[in-house]
Structure 1
Amino acid sequence: MGVFVTEVRPRWSDMDAFGHVNHANTVTLLEEARIALLFGEAARHEAVDMASGVVVARLAVDYHTPLLFTGEDVRVEMSVRELRSASFTLDYTVRSSRAAASAVVATAETLMVPYNVKTARPRRLTDAERDFLAGWRAGVTSG
């Protein structure tokens, strides 16, 4: 596996006065991509506990060029950089179009913490979650 790729579509209302996708809306696009990985793809790999609680503990976004609204999907590539017993770091590369060779408009990272909603406390990753996330570590390829 190694890199999870999904597409998200900025909305016309995501633009700021300069015609760029606003920072807060870019963060929302990252969230939509993250949901595709941590909820959708995780469920397909039987790591269903992921959907019961995981929170963002830290977020950093670096902008390389403006993300312009075109009505087209943008490509988001994600991989796991650090995998610990009670946290993991996701790296993102946002490209201006669906093409893998398109311009990188932003890179980002989120420190994610599994969370028990009932006790309102962080929790450890389950074995299924760790196995699922390990397959998305940077540099891992399927054989």
Structure 2
Amino acid sequence: MGAFLAEVALRWSDLDAFGHVNHARTITLLEEARAELLFNEAGRQGVLGMAEGMVVARVVVDYHSPLMYESKSLQVRMAVRDLKSASFVVDYTAFAQETVCTAETLMVPYDLRAGRPRRLTEQEREFLSEWRTEQLEHGRA
């Protein structure tokens, strides 16, 4: 299927003293986009387990240009790679007028009751496989 596209609204409170979106808020915006894929879209397709426990094991962000509030929203293109039995990577390309950042998060399904990581279910793996792509942008595979 390819990449999933989410649009996230910018808030005035996302700005820092320099007039652009703060780096920590950018990570929050990427999280909101990721929730649209892993929780909302997955739920629409009947895949509910990820919304019950999923943790970020690693996040890497490369900034390419400042994100200004005037853009009003951030478009985030996401794809899945390195799909393993108990983890996967979400790649992001976030843009407004131009590419703002590229990023990746290593995601681990988590059993909140047991307090430990768990394996992906077959249904979750099938859903995530829909969003696999060879390359998004800037050499991310």
TM-score range, shorter-chain basis?
A: over 0.9
1:21-100 matched pairs, under 5 angstroms: 21-70=21-70, 72-96=72-96
Matched residue, 1:103 = 98
1:118 to 113, 127, 132: 113
Matched residue, 2:139 = none
Q: Which runs of 5+ in 1 are unaligned?
A: 97-101
| CA distance in 1 between partners of 2:77 and 2:71 (Å) | 19
Note if contact 1:59-1:108 (Cα within 8 Å) is conserved in structure 2: yes
- Give how far 1:44 is off: 1.3
Matched residue, 1:138 = 133
| CA distance in 2 between partners of 1:9 and 1:66 (Å) | 16
- Give how far 1:139 is off: 4.1
Q: Which runs of 5+ in 2 are unaligned?
A: 136-141
Q: Which amino acid aligns with 1:41?
A: E
- Give how far 1:74 is off: 1.4
TM value normalised by structure 1:
0.91
Q: Report how many aligned residue pairs link the two structures.
A: 135
* SS of residue paired to 1:113: strand
Q: Deviations along 1:50-75, whole A, 9 cap, x unmatched?
A: 11100000000000000111152110
Q: Which amino acid aligns with 1:52?
A: E
* SS of residue paired to 1:86: coil
TM value normalised by structure 2:
0.92
- Identity, in percent, stands at 59
Matched residue, 1:99 = none
- Give how far 1:47 is off: 1.2
| CA distance in 1 between partners of 2:49 and 2:123 (Å) | 8
| CA distance in 2 between partners of 1:53 and 1:13 (Å) | 28
Q: Report runs of 4+ in structure 1 exceeding 6 Å deviation.
A: none
* SS of residue paired to 2:62: strand
| CA distance in 2 between partners of 1:115 and 1:41 (Å) | 19
| CA distance in 2 between partners of 1:15 and 1:72 (Å) | 12
